[in-house]
Amino acid sequence: MIKKLLTFFVFCSIITVNAQYTPVINSNRPGFSESPYSVGTGVYQFESSIFYRKINATPTFSNPEALGLNLFFRTSLIAEKLELNLNTSLQRDKIAFKNIFESSYNKTGLSQFSLGAKYLIYAPKYDDKSKEIRSWKARHSFDWKRWIPHVGISAGINIGSFLTDFHERGGFSPKVGLLLQNEFSDKLNVVTNLHYDFIGTDFSQFSYIVTGTYNFNDYWSGFAEMQGIFEKYEKKTNIGAGAAYLFNENLQFNASVRGNLQQDEIGIYTSLGVSYRINRHQDKFVEIDEFGNKIENEKQVKYDEDRGFFGRMFSKVKKLFSKKREQKVDLDISPDSEELSQEKPRRERQESLVDVIAKEDKKLKKKATKEEKKAAKKAQKNAEKEAKRKEKERLKLEKDIKKEEEKEAKRKEKERLKLEKEIKKLEEDIKKEEQKEKEDQEKDDN
């Protein structure tokens, strides 16, 4: 039972965890999003996938078809909350040029190579409703604190100097990201990523990813994902779905299929992947009680999830009337037996005053997060207004220039007509003079 509970926590792209290190592999695949949690110290994790992408060629140069291998390496060497990673892809691209005629050629090489790091800065704590015995409704109601996300930040650098020409994108460029994760239940969680990539280059892009994952059982999970990429000259969107299978605590297989939309062209993206980790993690210390037993956090054990409605109801009623484990002392002392047996009780860690302080800190951080979001939203609106204002000014300037050109053309046309009229009048005057001279000459001759 304990083994099944441990394997329940982590499956594929987005995993429900309460610490950095988990007993089973914590993989981001097959999704494109990243959880704010790291893999933990002493863990060396490889997440690889074979992918194929195809879309119709767009005007000028484009990459309509690609087949490749992606590798994402993750480890945590310094601290539990800090993760270092490497992301690279080797792929064979079809480069096409489409204008009046269409031509293409193939090229093989690295399409991306980046080094990065991420850090978990905030992890909320949720109420344990299993301890609520006074109200069935309160015990089964939704915890609205689950709307508060786990928050992580990421940063890294793209190295494009040795990539293929089509993917180079200006050599070295930084990238930053905001990683959010909401655990709405033990089975459903949602990850949201915001990234600003290739900063300072002509190919800078802003992107978002929203991924929802649902755990069906101890081994299978599925996901749905939507990604949007905004570049200077185009917008890309893809919507995908997939599944992952947990083979053992260190090995996971996954697959996904996606639909791509780029410049009104629709394409497809498929991938098959495997995630494997080398686990060298060691706990720094083990806390024990006065009897030598390991002190563990109280956990909500859901052993009756697969029962029917009445089975779950009677099991919960049984909990209310079940007796607590008592200390047993054998007082039957007889001449034949002089032993006094006593079972050592186990103690669980109780909630400390640190949790009270953490709750106050959580309120302050929530307020600060709201203010930051409000400021970011206001800045975005101001930027949009400024862009609209500049666009209006440009259109007005173009209209004014067009009016001036039309006015100048009309003026020149009037001058031309006036000049033709004067020339015609001058010619008539000359004819009249010649006629008059001719008549005078005839009179003199007579």
| pLDDT tens track for 312-332 | 665 656 665 554 444 444 444
Amino acid at 312: R
Between CA 39 and CA 20 the distance in angstroms is 6
What is the residue-wise DSSP string for 67-99? EEEEEEEEEBSS-TTEEEEEEEEEEEEEEEEES
Per-residue pLDDT, 141: 73
- In the predicted model, residues of the chain with pLDDT beneath 50 are 1-19, 300-305, 323-343
Between CA 155 and CA 145 the distance in angstroms is 28
Per-residue pLDDT, 186: 81
CB atoms under 10 Å from CB of 431, counted, come to: 10
Residue pair 51/68 in contact (Cβ under 8 Å)? The answer is yes
The answer for residues whose C-beta is within 8 angstroms of residue 386's C-beta and 6 or more apart is none
Per-residue pLDDT, 16: 37
Per-residue pLDDT, 289: 63
CA distance to 70, 184, 261, per residue, from 129 (Å): 42, 14, 44
**CA 240 to the chain's CA centroid:** 13
Taking Cα atoms as reference points, which of 195, 186, 194, 180 lies closest to residue 147?
180
For domain 2-285, give its CATH number from 3.40.50.2000, 3.40.640.10, 2.40.160.40, 3.40.50.410.
2.40.160.40
> 224 pairs with which residues across the strands?
212, 241
The answer for residues whose C-beta is within 8 angstroms of residue 362's C-beta and 6 or more apart is 124, 125, 148
| pLDDT tens track for 56-87 | 888 778 888 999 999 999 998 888 899 999 99
Per-residue pLDDT, 325: 47
Per-residue pLDDT, 321: 56
Prediction pTM value: 0.58
Kind plus residue range of the DSSP H or E element containing 4: helix 2-7
Per-residue pLDDT, 12: 35
Domain boundaries along the sequence of the chain: 2-285, 403-446
The answer for residues whose C-beta is within 8 angstroms of residue 250's C-beta and 6 or more apart is 24, 25, 276, 277, 278, 279
